[in-house]
Amino acid sequence: MRDQTFAPTRILIYLVVSLIAAAWLAPLVVVVLNSLRTNEEIAQASMIGWPKHWAWSNYAAAWSGFCVAETCAGIRPYMLNSALVTIPATIFSTMLGAIAGYAVSLWRFRGDSWIYGIVTLGLFLPQQMRLLPWTIVLRDIGLINTLTGLVLIHTIQGLSFTTLFCRNYYVAIPHELIRAARIDGAGFFRIFWRIILPLSAPILIVTVIWQFTHIWNEFLYGVTFTSGQQQPVTAALIALSAAVADIPQHGVQSAAVIIAALPTLLIYLLGGRYFVRGLTAGAVK
Partner 1 sequence: MTNAVSTATRPGRPAISGALRRLPEYLTIWVPLLLSAAHLVSFSLWTIWISFTPSTLVPVSGWVGLRNYTAVLATRNWKIAFDNLLLFGSAFVLLSVVTGLVLAILLDQRIRGENVLRSIFLYPLAVSFVVTGTVWSWLLNPGVGIQKLVHDLGWTSFKFDWLIDRDMAIWTIVIAAIWQSSGFAMALFLAGLRSVDADLVKAAQIDGAGPFRMYRRVILPTLWPITVTVVVIQLQFAISTFDLVRALTNGGPGIATQLPALVVYDLMFQRSLLGRGAAAAVLMLLILLAVLLPYAAWRYIQQRRATHA
Q: What angle do CA 9, 273, 220 make, to 5 degrees?
A: 105
Query: DSSP assignment of 188-242, as one string?
Result: HHHHIIIIIHHH-HHHHHHHHHHHHHHHHH--HHHHHH--GGG--HHHHHHHHHH
**Interface with partner 1, residue 50, by CB under 8 A:** no
CA–CA separation, 240 and 235 (whole Å) = 9
Closest CB 211 distance from partner 1, rounded Å: 13
CA–CA separation, 162 and 98 (whole Å) = 7
Using CB under 8 A, pick the residue from 100, 150, 151, 252 that binds partner 1: 100
Using CB under 8 A, pick the residue from 4, 53, 124, 176 that binds partner 1: 124
Q: Are 232 and 154 in contact (CB under 8 A)?
A: no
**58: exposed, middle or buried (Cβ count in 10 Å: 0-12, 13-18, 19+):** buried
- Draw the binding track, 139-178, toward partner 1 (x: CB under 8 A; -: no contact): -----------------xx-xx--x---------------
Q: Give, as ranges, the residues between 204 and 233 that touch partner 1 (CB under 8 A).
A: 213, 216-220, 224
**249: exposed, middle or buried (Cβ count in 10 Å: 0-12, 13-18, 19+):** buried
Binding part of the chain for partner 1, among 55-63, 72-80, 133-141, 142-150 by CB under 8 A, reads 133-141
Using CB under 8 A, pick the residue from 7, 28, 60, 180 that binds partner 1: 28
From residue 177, alpha-carbon distances to 21, 81, 169, 171 in Å are 47, 43, 15, 12
Closest CB 279 distance from partner 1, rounded Å: 6
Q: Quick one: 203 or 278, whose CB is closer to partner 1? A: 278
Using CB under 8 A, pick the residue from 73, 91, 115, 197 that binds partner 1: 115
Q: What angle do CA 40, 42, 48 make, to 5 degrees?
A: 170
Closest CB 150 distance from partner 1, rounded Å: 15
Q: Give, as ranges, the residues between 52 and 71 that touch partner 1 (CB under 8 A).
A: none
Total site size for partner 1, rule CB under 8 A: 89
Q: Give, as ranges, the residues between 2 and 21 that touch partner 1 (CB under 8 A).
A: 10, 13-14, 16-17, 20-21
Using CB under 8 A, pick the residue from 99, 143, 147, 203 that binds partner 1: 99
Using CB under 8 A, pick the residue from 36, 75, 104, 195 that binds partner 1: 104
* Secondary structure of residue 68 in the 3-state scheme: strand
Q: Give, as ranges, the residues between 175 and 194 that touch partner 1 (CB under 8 A).
A: 182, 187-189
Q: How many helices (H) and strands (E) does the chain have?
A: 14, 0
Q: Give, as ranges, the residues between 234 and 253 that touch partner 1 (CB under 8 A).
A: 234-235, 237-238, 241, 248, 250, 253
